[in-house]
Amino acid sequence: MSVYIKYIIWALSGWICIGNAQELEVRTSDEDTFEYQIEPQEADNFSLSLFRLWVPRQQIPLRGVLIVLPGSNGDSLNLVDCPEWRNICASWGFGCLTVVFTSNQSRERYSLAQFGSGSSVVAALEQLSTQSRRPELQNVPIAILGHSEGGIFAYNFACWLPSRVIAFATIKGGYYDNLDSQAKAIPGLIIAGALDNEYRLRRLRELFDSNAWPSSKWAYLCEPHSGHRLDNSLELVVPFFDAVIRNKIDPYVGSIAAHAISPVSLGLAGSCAWFPNKKIALIWQKIMKGEFKEKSFNLEIPSSPLKEIALISKKNYDFGRISCVDAVEPAVIHIRPNNGFRWTSVRASSSYNRTTLTITPSGPEYIVSVTPIVDPASLGRCNDTIQLRFFDKGRQILGGSTIEVNMQITHPDVEVTPSTLYAGAYEKETRLNLRLFSPTGKKIALSGIEASPGGGTEVNIVDRADSEITAECRFFSLPKCRATLYGKLSISLELPIKTKIVVPYIGFCKTGTDL
C-alpha cells in the first residue's frame, strides 16, 4: 500500500478530516512558496536566518502556521516541497514555514529564542505575509516542532512567545536552561531516545519532571531502541498537533513508569504525561512499549549542511596577540564561486566593528583584506564575524558565508593570565585564580572586576600588590538554570588611560538535580 493511499485512509478515518473539511489540492508551483532572509544585528544570536514558506493556493484565510526546524545549523528548506507535509498543513488550513538558523562561536546559541532568533521568526512572518498576500500570517496561531537544536528552539520559542503558540514538540534536544517554564499551559511533547546521549536523556527528563501534569499539558515520550534519529517521533507529533488544532480534547494521562493510561478524571499515580484524547494516549502507549510497528506517514525533517556558495581560503583567521602600540598587517583572504553557484559580486560587513574590510576583484575571484581595529581602551580576547553576501546581477542569492576572526589585544604595561578561563566540568562549583600583573613593574590601578549578568559567577580579590593582583573566580550552579555557564569578566583599570581587559569564561556543571 502506497504512503499516499495510507495517508488518505488515515485522513478519512477521522484523524484529520472533520465536518465538511475539503480536500485541498497540493501543487508544487513556485507561486505557492516564498523566501526571506534576515541579516543579524550585533546583539542577535544567529549568523544566518533563512525562511521558506508554503501556503495552500485556495484563497481562504489561514488558520495558523506550522514551523519546522532541523538539527544544528542544518538546512531543511526543501521540507515545504514535500507533498505529505503540504497535505497535513493544508488539511489544517495552515501554512508551513521552514527555518534555517546558523550560529558561530562569537554568538549565543540560536536555540535561545529570547536573544534574537525568536524575533527574527516573527519579523519573517510579517514580511512573508506581504509577499504571499496573506496578512493573517502576522497574527495566526503557531504550532512549532524541531529536532535536536531545532527542538530546543521550539521549546524556547514557546516560552518566549506563549501567546502565539498553540502546540510545541521538542524532539531529542539536550540544552534546556529554563526549567521553570512559561509554556506550561501550551500542549507540548518532550521526546527522547533511549539510546541517545545520556546528557540529552537526563535534561529532557528533567525538563518534563519540572513541569509534569497536573502543572502542564505536556507528554513525555522515551522511544525504546531509538537514538538521536527521529524514528517514530513524528507518528506521535502529527496526531497530537491535529487533536489540539481541531480541539478534539477529552484529556487522558499516561503513567511514565507503568505505561498505563486513564482519563484525567480518574488519574494515575506517579509522574504522568498529558494527552488531548484517548487515541493519542494509545499511540504513545504503543511506542513506549515498543509495540508500534506500522508507520502512518513517510515524514522526515531533512537536515543537510548548507551548501557553500563560495570557496574561502580561510574561514577562521586568528591574528594571535596584537600589541595596541604596534602596526598590524591585514589578513588576505581569497574567495571564489563554488561549483553550482554563480555570483557576480560580493559584499562584506563586520558584525562587531572590530575589523575594517576592503574587497578587490581579481580575475575569477575576490580578495578580502581584513585589518583589526586595535583600541587601547579595550584589551583582551575579542572576535569578529565577517558576513559575506553574494549577488548575481544585483539580485541577492539566498544564504551567505561567514569568516570568523579572533585576536588578543595586549598592552606592554599589563598582562592577565589565563587569557580565557576554562572551568571545565564541575560538581556544583569550582574555583579558578586569575592573575593581573605589569611586566614593566608599573602600578596597577584597578577599578573593579565584573562578570556577565545572569549569575553563576563570583569574583573576589585574594592578593593585592602595586604591580600584581590575584583574584579568585568562583563558578557555581543556580537552581533551574542552564548547565553550561559562559560569559566574560570585564576588568577595569588605568594605564594611565582608562581601559578594560575582557576575559571570556566557560564551564559545565554536572549536577543534574540542582539545575
Contact 451, 457 (CB under 8 A): yes
Checking if the pLDDT of 146 tops 60, the result is yes
Domains of the chain, with CATH numbers? 28-174+183-304 (3.40.50.1820), 308-408 (2.60.40.3450), 415-509 (2.60.40.10)
To the nearest 10 degrees (0 to 180), the angle between helices 83-92 and 3-10 is 10
* pLDDT given at position 108: 67
pTM of the model: 0.75
Checking if the pLDDT of 339 tops 50, the result is yes
- Where do we find the cell 566540568? 425
The grid coordinates listed for 47 are 549568523
Q: How many residues does the chain have?
A: 515
Mean predicted lDDT score pLDDT of the chain: 87
Alpha-carbon distance 366 to 381, whole Å?
29
| CB atoms closer than 10 angstroms to residue 280 | 29
Q: Is the Cα dihedral 136, 150, 347, 106 positive or negative?
A: positive
The grid coordinates listed for 5 are 493511499
Reference 416, options 355, 505, 316, 354; nearest CA is: 505
* pLDDT given at position 481: 55
Q: What is the pLDDT of residues 439-487, one digit of tens each?
A: 999 998 999 999 888 778 899 999 999 999 999 999 887 765 556 777 8
E strand or H helix that includes residue 278: helix 278-288
Indicate the pairing of strand 395-396 with strand 378-392.
antiparallel
Reference 411, options 374, 447, 445; nearest CA is: 374
Q: Is the Cα dihedral 131, 132, 138, 141 positive or negative?
A: negative
Q: What is the pLDDT of residues 486-499, one digit of tens each?
A: 789 999 998 878 99
Counting residues of the chain whose pLDDT is more than 70, the rounded percentage is 91
Alpha-carbon distance 315 to 436, whole Å?
33
Contact 416, 380 (CB under 8 A): yes
The grid coordinates listed for 247 are 480541539
The grid coordinates listed for 113 are 529564542
Exposure letters 73-111 (e unless 16+ CB within 10 A, then b): bbbbbebbbbebbbbbbbbbbbbbbbbbbbbbebbbbbb
* pLDDT given at position 254: 96
Q: Is 311 helix (H, G, I), strand (E, B) or coil?
A: strand
* pLDDT given at position 31: 60
* pLDDT given at position 303: 77
E strand or H helix that includes residue 386: strand 378-392
Amino acid at 294: E
Residue 455 half-sphere exposure toward CB, CA atoms < 13 A: 9
Q: Give me the helices (H) in 16-136, please.
A: 83-92, 117-131
